[in-house]
Structure 1
Amino acid sequence: MAPLAGECHAGIFEILPSKLSWAPGKLEQSSLLEQGQHPSKQRVLSALELCSVSKPTESPESQGLAGAGGSYQVSHYSQEACGRAFGPLNFAQTIRFCNRLDTELKSNDPLELLVLATPSQNPEARANSAVLLGAYLIFRLGWSVEQVTKALPEEGDLSFACSWSRLDRQENKRHMRALHCWQGLKIAQQNGWVSSLCCEDASHADLIVSGWERMALTYDASWLVPGMVIICADPTTTVCVTQIPTLFQNYGLPSRRPCGVSNQRPRDLLSPCRKT
């Protein structure tokens, strides 16, 4: 399904005619009313709340403005350690968003327009949400990057701070943009690394998310290309690194040990009592 025109009215972009619109910076219902929208014909959702495990209809007090799962996280690191970095959001959050948005669209009143919005004066939330919306359009509907860019003409150039960018130093020039994220997501979709089933089937989405989270927490690792290319942290600081060969076995591949890793566990290598 391709976008018809990506029409825009008062800063609200039509994504799927009569079904889905994008309203960056207009999360508050009052901002839509002021522009002549009709609340009886629309339902406004915070885009980032769709990343959360809990239901998006729960009160803001229980989830926070951006939703429990809508904040940037790096496994094993505190929020402060991330510095200026705020996104893009991780794989699990992306899959949750796609599945939840598909569920909302399926269950929505046919006469009611679903409006995805972000908080006002929050460019970080807007950039993260734009990438997520592009992921849904690519994974679920098979859109090209060009189609996404046409439907979201103001979002492709939204930029992200470099990872680990320190708050006590001048920020370096930003390079990654939402457009680059959409391009990467399209490559994953074209190569079959992610299928539309993760959007359509909640059980399948939960299985993918749990597998990703287990790898991140246990091995500090993640597949870039399933069964072929894996990326992980420094093996001398990953407690379960000696178990990584089992990941290859799970994909029917020969057992392999990462280059430079011995049979000793990392905690043995790093122990202050270890004999030299």
Structure 2
Amino acid sequence: MSNIPGRLHVVATPIGNLGDISQRAMDTLTQADLVAAEDTRHSARLLTALGIRRPLISLHEHNEEARVALLKARLAAGQDVALISDAGTPLISDPGYRLVRSLRLAGFEVLTIPGPSSLIAALSVSGLPTDRFFFEGFLPVRAAARRRRLAELAECDHTLVMFEVGRRLHGTLEDMIAVFGGARPAAISRELTKRHETTRLEDLQGLAVWLHQDPNHQRGEFVVMVGPAPSRPARPSIPDAEELLSLLRAEGLSARAAARLAARLTGESANSLYARLHRGKEHK
């Protein structure tokens, strides 16, 4: 057993094109004592294609908590562990958060081996604003819950980014049209870095039409991006209470009516505003 604890390496892997694997990722996977993977069968094929043979252990949403103690023990014994997901950067809508947090709190070193991410790849070619964005991940599966969540996001002034699967994409676009309006600019990316990579920039209504034109458009996994909510005209500022009372009185309202209306606009007490009017008369 080594006196020097091992390290967890969070390794990004290709999202489709094996040519996107970095040399650093290759070296890390080759040298790791153990590779923790979301789906060991999928990851075994990936490692074989890369010419890497390492022991694999599963780590997914159903067993992550149980795996933490085992991986801590491996690290404490001086073994290095590489964490990978099915594709792209681990922890981005994938398991691993509980493991990374637990290891950090226990004092173990966690290192990133950055690389492909469908989220960033799609944004970079979308044609939508990229200076600020809000990543939602996967929306709720059920339509009612999905519409409620979209309503909460409707006024977001950043580009919205979501993941979706082909069989739900039509329903998701229909819900977005209902909540955001069909004219909202949006983009869809599918099969990123693969042979049939497609990114389509339209408004939401146009994307729904495009989706129906060819069944192939609904195949694969998707990144859906929606442009920022249109800016609303600024509401005119309300004069302060004193000025408002003077304006209302100048328009011929009685002191009582002016106080009631000013109270509705400012949130102040009508009685206090009425008393203020009378104090003003006494000081004249």
- Sort the TM-score into its range (normalised by shorter chain): under 0.3
TM-score by length of 1: 0.27
Write 1 or 2 for the structure with the bigger share of helix.
2
Higher fraction of strand: 2
Taking structure 2 as the reference length, the TM-score comes to 0.27
Could you say which structure has the larger radius of gyration? 2
